Amino acid sequence: MPAAGSGARMGKEIPKPYLKIAGRPILEHTLLKFKEIDSIQELIISTSEAYIDQTRQIAKSVFGDRTVVVIEGGAERQESVAKALQFVSDGSEFIAIHDAVRPFVREDLISACINQAKVPDVDGAILAVQVKDTIKEISGKNIIQATPDREKLWQAQTPQIFKREILIRAYREAANRKLLGTDDSSLVEMIGGKISVVESTVDNFKITYPLDFQLAKLILSGK
Ligand code: C5P
């Protein structure tokens, strides 16, 4: 679970996963969604150095006797995930990656994503929703180059769940080729991986901007 980085886009001093809603840090709300998923045997969180102790406490309080490892993340999300992958134990068959700032993921969709990732002829599965807006591809000068067919466009979310070996290989390859992807799936796609999409819901949004935070507060306070 990547939980590092600053709160820059939120305009806050405290990084997003540690902003509190209804008395708990966002990270804790997110972890609670994974608490009942028994197939998750170990949890690795990458975070900012100053938050390592607090994160360990939060994670232990939710995950009890399951293995919890908290490490320092990197400058980019991809680096934070890459560092966490070094701590995945050899016995793990699958690796699930979930943003610490998506606390509204539904448990049944996490399970659906796990089941889809287990299908023999795919390398992994991700949650995603169809885009609602028309998306424009623009050039550096803000001139529209193309309007991709909206029917084919899906917005990637997390969790993104992969067979262990291909994910590790994808991250290694990305590091060798100095490629930066905006999600984990894109790195697996780059080495030819076959990834399924499991239809999700828009409530699994990533808390990014102040508006997202306001919405998250409204949802969690039951308004
Ligand atoms: O910045 P962004 O909204 O894409 O962050 C998605 C997730 O990745 C968040 O949970 C954030 O804490 C994490 N992240 C990270 N390391 C970074 C940047 C973001 O672990 N350097």
What single string gives the DSSP state of each residue in 4-54? Answer: -S--GGGT-SS-GGGSEETTEEHHHHHHHHHTT-TT--EEEEEE-GGGHHH
Instruction: Report the nearest-CA residue for atom 12 of ligand 1.
Output: 3
Which of 99, 102, 211 should be mutated for ligand 1, with most atoms under 8 A from CB? 99
Q: Which two tokens stand for residue 120?
A: 């023999």
- Protein residue closest via CA to atom 6 of ligand 1: 99
C-beta 75 within 6 A of ligand 1: yes
pLDDT over 80 (residue 8)? no
- For the chain, give the number of residues: 223
**Cis amide bond preceding 159, omega within 30:** yes
Work out how many domains the chain is built from and give that number. Answer: 1
Quick: pLDDT tens for 69-128: 999 999 999 999 999 999 999 999 999 999 999 999 999 999 999 999 999 999 999 999
**pLDDT band (50, 70, 90) for residue 35:** very high
Distance 94 CA to ligand 1 centre (A): 21
Ligand 1 pocket: which of 14, 98, 101 to mutate (most atoms within 8 A of CB)? 101
Q: How far is CA 139 from CA 44, 130, 145, in A?
A: 39, 24, 6
157 falls within a domain: yes
What domain range includes position 190? Answer: 8-220
Residue 223 has what pLDDT?
65
Does residue 46 line the site of ligand 1, with CB under 6 A? yes
Which of 33, 52, 80, 207 for a ligand 1 pocket mutation test, highest count of atoms within 8 Å of Cβ?
80
CA–CA dist 187, 172 (Å, integer): 10
CB 46 within 8 A of CB 80: yes
Does a structural domain hold residue 22? Answer: yes
1 located within any domain = no
pLDDT digits 0-9 by tens, 152-186: 999 999 999 999 999 999 999 999 999 999 999 99
% of the chain beyond a pLDDT of 70: 98
Ligand 1 neighbourhood includes 3 CB (under 6 angstroms): yes
**Residue 2 counted as domain residue:** no
pTM across the whole model: 0.96
pLDDT(52) > 70: yes
CATH number at residue 128: 3.90.550.10
> Domain for residue 3, yes or no?
no
CB 70 near ligand 1, within 6 Å: no
In a domain, 137, yes or no: yes
The atom number, within ligand 1, closest to the CA of 102 reads: 10
CA–CA gap between residue 210 and residue 10 (Å, rounded): 5
Q: Are the beta carbons of 174 and 185 closer than 8 angstroms?
A: no
Q: What was the pLDDT predicted at 65? A: 86
| pLDDT tier, 10 (very low <50, low <70, confident <90, very high otherwise) | low
Q: Which amino acid is at 103?
A: P
Query: In whole numbers, what is the pLDDT of the chain averaged over residues?
Result: 95
